[in-house]
Chains A and B, each alone.
Chain A
Amino acid sequence: MSQSHDHDGHGHGHGSRFIQHHYDDAQHQFDSGKLGIWLFLAQEILFFSALFVAYILYRSHRPEIYAYAHYYLDVKFGAINTAVLIASSLTAAWAVRCAQLGQRRGLILNLSLTLLCAFAFLGIKYVEYSHKIHEGILYGAKFDPCVSSGGSPLVTKRNHCDGTKSSVVWDKLAAKASEGCLESAKIDQDASTPGLQAKCVVTELRRNGAAFEPTGKTFDECAASALLGHGKAKDVKYPCYTLSLQPAVCPKGPAALVLYGDHTKRPDVGIKVECEPSPPAKEADPFAEAAGPAPLGTRALTGVEPPTKHELNERFAAGPPPPNTNMFFSIYFAMTGLHGIHVLAGVVVFLWLLFRAIRGDFTPDYFGPVDYAALYWHIVDLIWIFLFPLLYLIH
């Protein structure tokens, strides 16, 4: 602890009125604050660490979830945000230099630029988040996407994709259309399940009271498009209806799920589907039942090459999400959400610094808060630099 020797005039030899009484001098206060902020940053890293561990754990257990789900994220947005944050780190560091040199205008300018970048980051994040909320690409139990990560439409559990598509279930045993089995965990979207895709006849339904009743009218895709009020087929964003990828297995028995056009505009119109279960896609592999690794020579016998990882990813992206894809978005929202809260906190801090800078509080003797806030900002930036590749750039 270095004793202050310049007891001239300022009471305790303090250069600025912001030097607190229990410190020896400005340097002592600055050093203490600097150590304090570094420890705080260590704390921050540990605070985020659990999320990184969760990321590593689930990715190592279920790599296909990550391979599938990252197509939902827009690398363009992530990259812009990375650039924005790196730029803001530069201006934050520049602000510190200005404060050290007592350049008040430069300080104010750089603090403002940092704030501007922070707002830009939050704005882009807002665009990304609102798109995901709209499309049902959410965390945990709320994960219910309107489209696959490859862009093809999906049946949703809550039927919430207004204006794009909707779904009706035709229950063959009960011989009526219902939405009853559109509940969590009751829809099987696995395209590889044989049984329901083949030989389907689509007929129009009209809602009569509470239930749909068939009109006996069969129609094709374009007819459906016209019927549903879209006019021309080219106006339809998604296919009028699709059958091939959307089988459903209700608890009561087999049923078909049909996607078609704008459900909300014509709530009285439905589609009836009558399907005969298709035969199994191919002869069962005689070795498929064997537990553990396949015996030597299996591949030669069957003649089927395993798909490459890239092919798997492509196929996954086109099809419905693998089970528990929600975990990716749980982690995505936890990580980016916590990071976003830190950015918000940074905005508050920089607004306060801007206010104090305009008031002229900072001098070459007293610029600690600018320095500490910039360090905090760098760690927020650094965490994003890890988040960007981990979430957006998976291959």
Chain B
Amino acid sequence: MATNHETSGHEPNFYEVKRGLKSWLYTLDHKRIGLMYLWGILGSLLLGGAFALLVRIELFSPGQDIVGQDRYNQFFTLHGAVMVFLVIVPGIPAALGNMIMPIQLGAPDVAFPKLNLTSFYFWCIGATLLLVSIAMGAVDTGWTFYTPYSLQTPTAVLPAVMGVFVLGFSSIFTGLNFLVTVHKFRPQGMGWFQLPLNVWALYATAIMQILATPVLGITVLLLFVETFMKIGIFDPQLGGDPVLFQHFFWFYSHPAVYIMIIPGMGVISELMTTFSRKPVFGYRFIAYSSVSLALLSFLVWGHHMFVSGQSRLATMVFSALTFTVGIPSAIKVFNWTATLYKGDIRLKTPMLYALSFLLLFTIGGLTGLFLGILAVDVHLHDTYFVVAHFHYVMMGSTLVAFLGGLHYWWPKISGRMYPERLGQLCAVGVFFGFNLTFLPQFVMGSRGMPRRYWDYDPEFTIFHQLSTVGAFVLGISLFVVVCYTLWSAKNGPRATVNPWGATTLEWQAPTPPTLYNFETPPELHELYNYDDLEQVADVEWVRVSKPEGADAVAKSSADH
């Protein structure tokens, strides 16, 4: 590799190794691919956010405010499709995971760098296809593409569906890559239970990406074939079963919820322990709960279809299984809380996001139990209660974790600090804006306001207006975050090697890392043991003494 910047004995960092647009487009470096994902995802976040704000403006008062009903249907569909497929699903694994996970393993790269770049270009193709569908008059089916409406609507379902298909394979390849990387690229001495919890979470996510996403792939492929070849598998006129589409769709899309949330949980585990200056409480429980969530996620898809005409037995079984998901989720929440207990809590921006996560995820998770109860779900199904519930999980949890992780790792990956005060302000803005947006939706949902409606009874006006105001607080906060992140990439103060005093391996790599991440092989210390780290400046920590005996190294796992 080119080493023409090698001047002072230090290897050039991964930005300096090669420059120019071409060096980015053809790069096989996981950090550069992760960064390209990051910019794409932040751009999509603004796009999806813009659609959300348009929806909220339209709902400010009953009747038409800015657009008619058909346009409104397109707005919420595009908001959902862009946010789910372009932002939340790839957000943490493909952007943050790509940048950080190999370094956390002390590895030079992911197992298959070319496949990694392929994944990124698949993401680009999928995003382009979604944009094409917007240009062709947008889709109005909702992000779920339910048949038979998606077969009948004159809007641009074909490019959107193809986009989702390609994005699915982007996700599968990322998962495959990460899973092999975790298995084959752990350094000597790092056993399964010395893996950072973030890696455990990405590992669990990868399992779901590989096993669930192909079902989405074949489902949207069938929908695609259905649309222009009239194959009839989901078309009741030809003897097909539209509910089968819902089964297939949710067989992916329920695990997809965990593809979205589990990486967020991994990030939060890292943040909780680092900013509490305490070993994470119940490491093995958190690790196992990630994997058990991943497995349970395959058994509960039917709870999206309680009123779709499933058999009564299936409905009851799915309801019962749905409650089991509460167990590993609660294990995590309790362990994070116990990690905070008597901790030396530092309220840096990432920690503010982590604490927001704890509260918002708890609300989102518990309201999920309401919806898992059959009798309650019949009333709450397709109301704003559901909208609020899944926004608490997908946005209040996953996006907040993404933002926390972004602030946490941004110094490492960019070499620059973000503006701390502004960051804290925005974190608070996100928290309050989010709650103002979605708490009223729980209330109006439980009073019967259906989701996806363009018009509503005047009695719901106050809730919709609170929600719209909250959405703007949230939107402005997120916009400022994206702006200062871009700004700080060039102009922020230089970051130190270990600004947060964290123990995982990425904080031993140079800031920013070199092409193969480490100049010298990283030393393995006991994970999440903060005793040997000392704060020498506001955002600089150093390791003061080596641990007695290399007990961490001695715990080398036998599986290699």
Complex contacts, B506 vs chain A, CB 8 Å: none
B184 touching A32 by the CB < 8 A rule? yes
A53 to B252, CA, bound (A): 14
If A326-B232, A326-B238, A334-B225 touch, whether A31 touches B214 (CB-CB below 8 Å) is: no
A335 to B515, CA, bound (A): 45
Interface check A42, CB cutoff 8 A: yes
Q: Which residues of A pack against B, CB within 8 Å?
A: 1-3, 20-22, 28, 31-32, 35-36, 39-40, 42-44, 46-51, 53-54, 57-58, 62, 139-142, 323-324, 326-327, 330-331, 333-334, 338
Total number of B residues with any Cβ neighbor in A under 8 Å = 46
A54 to B242, CA, bound (A): 11
Complex contacts, A50 vs chain B, CB 8 Å: 215, 218-219, 222, 248, 251
Q: Is the interface of B mostly helix, strand, loop or mixed?
A: helix
A140 touching B232 by the CB < 8 A rule? yes
Complex contacts, B222 vs chain A, CB 8 Å: 50, 334
B218 touching A35 by the CB < 8 A rule? no
In the assembled complex, the CB of B214 is this many whole angstroms from the nearest CB of chain A, namely 4
If A2-B560, A39-B180, A326-B239 touch, whether A331 touches B233 (CB-CB below 8 Å) is: yes
Interface check B244, CB cutoff 8 A: yes
Residue of B with least CB distance to A61: B241
A48 to B212, CA, bound (A): 12
User: Contact partner of B184 among A28, A44, A333, CB < 8 A?
Assistant: A28
Q: List 23 A-B contacts (CB under 8 A).
A: A1-B186, A1-B187, A21-B516, A32-B111, A32-B184, A35-B183, A36-B112, A43-B176, A43-B210, A46-B211, A47-B217, A47-B218, A50-B219, A54-B233, A54-B244, A57-B241, A139-B229, A139-B232, A140-B231, A140-B235, A327-B233, A327-B240, A334-B231
Residue of A with least CB distance to B187: A1
Complex contacts, A338 vs chain B, CB 8 Å: 218
Interface check B109, CB cutoff 8 A: yes
Interface check B358, CB cutoff 8 A: no
Interface check B108, CB cutoff 8 A: yes
User: Contact partner of B179 among A39, A49, A142, CB < 8 A?
Assistant: A39
A140 to B228, CA, bound (A): 11
B238 touching A57 by the CB < 8 A rule? no
Complex contacts, B247 vs chain A, CB 8 Å: 53
Q: Is the interface of A mostly helix, strand, loop or mixed?
A: helix
A139 to B222, CA, bound (A): 13
Interface check B436, CB cutoff 8 A: no
Complex contacts, B180 vs chain A, CB 8 Å: 32, 35-36, 39
Interface flags for B505-521 (1: CB within 8 Å of A; 0: not) read 00000000000100000
A39 to B111, CA, bound (A): 13
Could you list 11 further interchain pairs (A-B, Cβ under 8 angstroms) beyond the known A22-B516, A36-B177, A53-B247? A44-B214, A46-B214, A50-B219, A57-B241, A62-B239, A139-B230, A140-B226, A140-B230, A326-B239, A327-B233, A327-B238
A138 to B247, CA, bound (A): 26
In the assembled complex, the CB of B445 is this many whole angstroms from the nearest CB of chain A, namely 32
Which 8 pairs between the two chains have the least Cβ-Cβ distance? A324-B239, A140-B232, A47-B214, A46-B214, A141-B230, A22-B108, A50-B218, A22-B109
A323 touching B239 by the CB < 8 A rule? yes
Complex contacts, A327 vs chain B, CB 8 Å: 232-233, 238-240
A3 to B560, CA, bound (A): 10
Interface check B146, CB cutoff 8 A: no
Complex contacts, B233 vs chain A, CB 8 Å: 54, 140, 327, 330-331, 334
